[in-house]
Chains A and B, each alone.
Chain A
Amino acid sequence: DGGITQSPKYLFRKEGQNVTLSCEQNLNHDAMYWYRQDPGQGLRLIYYSQIVNDFQKGDIAEGYSVSREKKESFPLTVTSAQKNPTAFYLCASSARDPGTNTEAFFGQGTRLTVV
């Protein structure tokens, strides 16, 4: 089945450690996105990528990094520089720019907790 997969579902990290969240899609979508969801905050855009080997910062990119070496994959690294990383992270993909003609499909999310 085509879809977008995030792993792991739950992730625990010690303070000071980097951690990488996985996002894979087999929908042949060009665009991929990472969002952070906090209670009462809605979804905030961290990074997005419209094409392989290219990505742009969203509204809250500080303390995060991404790569887009393959069309199917868009991993997110939460670095030790992120001051408050505990949150729910959602990955999404779309065939093209969702502002032009298509919806975004979402993974099931990763709950990151810093202990």
Chain B
Amino acid sequence: AQTVTQSQPEMSVQEAETVTLSCTYDTSESDYYLFWYKQPPSRQMILVIRQEAYKQQNATENRFSVNFQKAAKSFSLKISDSQLGDAAMYFCARGSQGNLIFGKGTKLSVKP
């Protein structure tokens, strides 16, 4: 089965510092999308950032950016200037053929 792996069950960062969450995935397809979703305690899933596999340029959204290494099948999320509101579960996901597959998530804590 094709998988998405998040190797860090929990991470912690000091407020205003930078943190990187790791994600690797398995696929035999050339055309797919990658996503990072945030799930706060309310459990509402919120899209953080999206990357098209055919684009070499890394996606950025304000304080959030990705490091997409297609050959290595790696898709890490960097959060700059971390804020208390960034504390949540973060899920990496890969979409293809109508199937959006998620990793097990990384719980991010932000220390004031």
Contacts and interface: CB of A to CB of B under 8 A. Distances in A.
Interface of A: 31, 33, 35, 40-45, 48, 50, 56, 58-59, 88, 90, 92, 94, 97-101, 103-104, 106, 108-109
B11 to A, nearest CB: 15
A40 B6 CA distance: 11
Given A41-B104, A45-B101, A98 B91 contact: no
B44 A106 contact: yes
B97 A99 contact: yes
Given A33-B100, A44-B102, A99-B99, 10 more contacts: A42-B91, A42-B103, A43-B91, A45-B101, A88-B43, A98-B33, A99-B97, A100-B31, A104-B35, A108-B43
Contacts, number: 69
A45 B43 contact: no
Given A43-B91, A103-B50, A92 B44 contact: no
A56 B100 CA distance: 13
Interface of B: 1, 6, 9, 29, 31-33, 35, 42-45, 47, 50, 52, 91, 93-105
Given A42-B91, A42-B105, A106-B45, A98 B31 contact: no
Contacts of B33: 98-101
B47 A108 contact: no
13 contacts: A31-B98, A35-B102, A42-B103, A43-B91, A48-B99, A88-B43, A97-B96, A97-B97, A99-B32, A99-B94, A99-B96, A104-B47, A108-B42
